[in-house]
Amino acid sequence: MTGIREAVGLLWSASDDAKMVQQGKVWHTWGEVRVLAETIDAELARVGCGEGARIGVVLGNRMESIASLIAILGKGRTIITLNPMQPTARVTADAVASLPQVVLAPQSVWEETEFEVAMAEAGIVGFAVDGLDVVQRTGGPEVTIEVVKDEKDPIAVEMFTSGTTGPPKRVPLTWRQLEAALKAVHSHTGKGGDEREPLTGRVALVSLAIVHIGGLWGVIQALAEARPIVVLPRFTVDGWVDAVHEHQLRVAGLPPAAMRSSSTRTCPRRSLRVCVR
């Protein structure tokens, strides 16, 4: 099986004109995403963040987050998820507690004085990422925190649990776990991309927040299969149904509560399968 890093690398064989990320009604091409991913990668390398470095990302449902994932996971770095839906004080506390080498966040987050001051005081290198711009906001020219790599079972993602039974806890997901999960999915459904050009074929609809495992897994699977990604900035019944109509999807996933809400709207195909998540 092709690993996640190798699969992400295959995206570079796609045409720059290929549609890659639809955010709302706007399509971003692979050329746009590639340029941003390469810029992020270059900035991370410049400050000393190579393989195994821990990178915090305020992970909203937007093109910039997907480019960040490509730059981080494509080079064997670890992503530390930070939730943009939380109040600034909570996002700030989570970032300081997890202490990544670098934090990537939208400019709007850096405009919160509490956040920027805390990152600077913690010695975290910070970048504002909006559109194709990557601007350093905090930290010196190089990272000073030592990168410690776990050669036995390196970590790909550090993310929070849902907090259903208590305060959310940050848990590690290793490369081995993610690739085993992908292998299991592909053994059941087929990879669906071995005989087509990258970023062609049916789109992957990501309707859940990618800061949580459901949405994040949707993006990782789509990247591994080199599929165009349709990402809803936030879930709404109308937005989900419209996306299903527009792209004539045969399979789409939703959690039970969202599925019950969506059942009041007519889907485009009687053959549509909705998977419970």
What percentage of the chain carries pLDDT values higher than 90?
Answer: 64
Instruction: Say if CB 100 and CB 124 are below 8 A apart.
Output: yes
Angle (CA) 265-271-275 rounded to 5° is: 70
Residues 6 or more apart from 222 whose CB is under 8 A from it?
Answer: 204, 206, 228, 229
Q: Mean pLDDT over residues 74-99, rounded? A: 96
Q: Is the pLDDT of residue 270 over 50?
A: no
Q: Mean pLDDT over residues 116-145, rounded? A: 91
Fold of 29-195: Rossmann fold (3.40.50)
CA-wise closest residue to 172 among 156, 183, 151, 153: 156
Name the one residue in this structure whose structure tokens are 């859940």. 208
Q: Is the pLDDT of residue 64 over 90?
A: yes
Instruction: Say if CB 187 and CB 166 are below 8 A apart.
Output: no
260: confidence class by pLDDT, cuts 50, 70, 90: low
95: confidence class by pLDDT, cuts 50, 70, 90: very high
What pLDDT shows up at residue 254?
Answer: 73
Q: Using the 8-state DSSP alphabet, how is residue 192 labeled? A: S
Q: Which amino acid is at 175?
A: W
What pLDDT shows up at residue 84?
Answer: 96
Query: By three-state DSSP, how is residue 239 classified?
Result: helix
Q: Is the pLDDT of residue 257 over 80?
A: no
What percentage of the chain carries pLDDT values higher than 70?
Answer: 84
pLDDT in tens, 185-196: 877 666 555 567
Q: Is the pLDDT of residue 165 over 90?
A: no
Domain boundaries, the chain: 29-195
Q: Mean pLDDT over residues 120-144, rounded? A: 91
Q: Mean pLDDT over residues 79-95, rounded? A: 96
What is the rounded end-to-end Cα distance, in angstroms, of the chain? 25
What whole-number distance in Å separates Cα of residue 61 and Cα of residue 232? 7
Cβ atoms < 10 Å from Cβ of 160:
19
What pLDDT shows up at residue 276?
Answer: 45
